[in-house]
Amino acid sequence: MKKRLPKLRTDKEAEDFLKNYLSDYIHWENFSKSTFEFEPKDTSIMFRVSSRLKAAIKKISDRRKIT
């Protein structure tokens, strides 16, 4: 029987999950297409946003530990 992959929110959860027998989780429905950007980022942009939107973005980035 094929099982769905669980949502892993921490490194600890991922490490614990990888200790399991994984053959039941490996099937095409658990994979999705991904794209990667390999070019170096050499420029930045600036734009104005409301302080409310800025605070909301900062809250999300802090929660995800993004600087």
Phi-psi map region of 61: left, alpha, beta (phi>0 left; psi -120 to 50 alpha):
alpha
Are 37 and 31 in contact by the 8 Å Cβ rule? The answer is no
Q: Which pLDDT tens digits describe the chain residue by residue (67 residues)?
A: 577 778 889 999 989 888 887 777 777 776 788 888 888 888 888 989 999 999 999 999 999 988 7
pTM: 0.35
Q: Which of 51, 47, 1 is closest to 25 using CA atoms?
A: 1
